[in-house]
Amino acid sequence: MANILKRESRLRSPLSSLLSDGEKWMVGFDDVFNNLVEKWEEGFDGFHEYPASNIKRIDDHHYRIEVAVAGFMRDELNVDREGDALIVTGSKSEETSEERDDYLQRGIKAKSFRQSFQLTEHDKVLEATLRHGILEINVKRESNGTRKKLGIPIKEV
């Protein structure tokens, strides 16, 4: 089973955290409260899903993270490891109004982004390759990474 996980899968703002914790003490305000939370979170729908990504297991020790980065050049992308986090960023400059005016329909997003993926201490990033608009990041699991279950004795006082 893969331990490589998408780290930031849902945007949680301080307000939505406060409001969700407030459910316990806002008895009687259920409808008002629920509508407020729904409206707040609607503004962030799709925000965390750009760009699309896959995590594919190649074999027991190799994984591939695929990030759809159509419209990005190699020098506009960065892949960094910060501790146990793999950070993928893409930087796009603002378009001029002349560049925007030439399109009749525009469905391919090309905006700056930051995505992170949770790795383990046993994971080694081998390489990153940009191929046909897909950024492929190959990861190798150095050891099996299995965890032993340790029983913790409970003292009676």
d(CA 127, CA 81): 12
The residue that leads in pLDDT, 19 or 154, is 154
pLDDT at position 71 is: 86
SS3 content of the chain, % helix, strand, coil (to 5): 20, 30, 45
pLDDT at position 137 is: 95
Whether the predicted pLDDT of 14 surpasses 50: yes
d(CA 21, CA 14): 11
The torsion angles phi and psi of 126, rounded to 5 degrees, stand at -85, -50
pLDDT at position 76 is: 92
Average pLDDT value for the chain: 76
Tens-digit pLDDT profile for residues 28-67: 556 666 666 666 555 554 455 789 999 999 998 999 999 9
Domains and CATH numbers, the chain: 9-49 (no CATH), 50-94+110-143 (2.60.40.790)
